[in-house]
Amino acid sequence: MEHHIGSVEVITGSMFCGKTEELIRRLRRATIAKQKVQVFKPAIDNRYNVGKVTSHAGDEFEAQPIQAAREILAALEEGATVVAIDEAQFFDDEIIRIVQQLADRGLRVIVAGLDTDFRGEPFGPMPVLMAQAERVDKLQAICMVCGEPATRTQRLVNGQPAHYNDPVVIVGAAEMYEARCRQHHVVLRG
């Protein structure tokens, strides 16, 4: 009889740190190991390809876009052993319960998402997912100002730092965001 112990892995960090690349790497390894993999992503993330998770470097893996976390349970296929969720910060807190439920069923759940928003504040359900995970990998990018390790996501509006009161969720890539270190991360206030 096969024995599966469920677990939660979180891959996190700023934009451009390689979260999705690492997610895809783990999914490819699971596929090579003949594990049945299912991947979900928020439908709001339409930057590259709606039916795939895609890294900024161009790596891709088939994924099912969903509007709400509860759709994962309805779409889960028989025999799935690995469930991956990309851009988890865009889901509401229901994702926390669903991730725990999947792990409790014996599945390996791999979650990728931003740990902080452009303000440098915890982003959506990610802090709780990180706290409850068996494994957390926090990746770093490279600061676009000084070249030091970057842990922050800088939002730019017409080339200038965004204002604190701007909307938290604006989907974009290199045209709107940069990786920055703590020293060079700027959020306008007042």
Alpha-carbon gap, residue 69 to 40, rounded angstroms: 9
Encoding tokens for residue 157?
Answer: 């509006």
Residue 144, Cβ density class (10 Å: 0-12 exposed, 13-18 middle, ≥19 buried): middle
Distance CA 25, CA 33 (A): 13
Q: Is residue 190 part of a domain?
A: no
Which residue is catalytic, options 62, 87, 148, 178? 87
Side chain identity, residue 12: T
Higher pLDDT, 92 or 168: 92
Q: Are 93 and 128 in contact (CB under 8 A)?
A: yes
- pLDDT (average), residues 81-98: 96
Q: What is the pLDDT of residues 161-176, one digit of tens each?
A: 999 998 887 765 557 8
Q: Are 169 and 45 in contact (CB under 8 A)?
A: no
**Would residue 27 count as lying in a domain?**
yes
Give the model's pLDDT for residue 159: 87
For 48-68, how does the pLDDT look when each residue is reduced to its tens digit (9 = 90+)? 566 777 776 667 888 999 999
pLDDT of the residue at 176: 87
Domain of 21, in residue numbers: 7-140
* Residue 3 pLDDT exceeds 60: no
Report if residue 157 sits inside a domain.
Answer: no
Give how far the C-alpha of residue 138 lies from the chain's centroid of Cα atoms, to the nearest Å. Answer: 11
In total, the chain counts a number of residues equal to 190
- Residue 68 inside a domain? The answer is yes
87 is catalytic: yes
| 164 lies in some domain | no
Residue type, 190: G
Q: Report d(CA 118, CA 150) in Å as an integer.
A: 13
Q: Is residue 112 part of a domain?
A: yes
**From residue 144, how far is each of 16, 81, 148, 174 by CA, in Å?**
10, 39, 8, 11
Q: What is the pLDDT of residue 179?
A: 97
From its phi and psi, is residue 147 left (phi > 0), alpha (psi between -120 and 50) or beta?
left
Tracing tokens 């469920």 back to the chain, one arrives at: 6
Within-domain flag for 155: no
CATH number of the domain that 105 lies in?
Answer: 3.40.50.300
Number of domains in the chain: 1
C-alpha distance from residue 36 to each of 11, 27, 173, 178 (Å)? 20, 10, 30, 35
154 in any annotated domain: no
